[in-house]
Amino acid sequence: MNLPNKLTLARVIMIPIFLIFLYWDFASWHILAALAVFAIASYTDMLDGKIARKHNLITDFGKFLDPLADKVLVVAAIVAFIEFKWVGAIPVIIILFREFMVTSLRLVANNKEGKVIAAAWLGKVKTAFTMVAIVIILLLEGIAKCGVEFSFELRIVNEILIWIAALLTAVSGGQYLSSYWGIIDADK
């Protein structure tokens, strides 16, 4: 297994660690600990792709697992955010719908044509923005948990960030759908 794929697997392993820190209220800074794990996991996403492209280590396994690891990491965070009432459910549902749609489209493409659909440029922008938004939400909520008071309503900032992520997610999902609509045959 090459280094980029090992980094992707490391990201998958970091997901439960992130959730343990996020949910286990062992200290006032537990959210900041979760943020650190999330940030490291997010960094591996950028790093594995950069290494894979630079050293020609792109594999079908990596093209499949990398976006899946990203999705699970992001979904774990944003679903937890709903439970903590940091964001509303509607933008998260939009994000989840797009992720299920694109994953399904990838499966159809692979089964029908033997293609592995790699992440498109807009999909990468969407992922990067969403991860940055999650980092900001975790940072603000973590600082608030440590007793710092803000002169603004955290929930409003969180909602703005998650709605921008949802908009980028919807647009990139539309791009995937229009690009690969031809592989979907409603008669079969």
Q: What is the pLDDT of residues 123-147, one digit of tens each?
A: 889 988 999 999 999 999 999 999 9
Domain extent at residue 172: 3-183
Tell me how far apart the alpha carbons of residues 99 and 32 are, in angstroms, rounded to a whole number: 27
CB–CB of 119/66 below 8 Å? yes
179/158: higher pLDDT: 158
* Residue 54 half-sphere exposure toward CB, CA atoms < 13 A: 8
Instruction: Count how many domains the chain has.
Output: 1
Q: What is the pLDDT of residues 57-101, one digit of tens each?
A: 888 888 788 888 988 999 999 999 999 999 999 999 999 999 888
Please report, for the domain that includes residue 16, its CATH number: 1.20.120.1760
Residue 188 maps to a domain: no
The per-residue pLDDT of the chain, averaged, comes to 90
Q: Which amino acid is at 132?
A: V
Residue 49 maps to a domain: yes
Residue 74 maps to a domain: yes
* Cβ atoms within 10 Å, residue 70: 24
Of 152, 153, 174, the closest CA to residue 97 belongs to 174
Q: What is the pLDDT of residues 20-33, one digit of tens each?
A: 999 999 999 999 99
Confidence of residue 148 (pLDDT cuts 50, 70, 90): very high
pLDDT surpasses 70 at 115? no
Name the pTM for this structure: 0.88
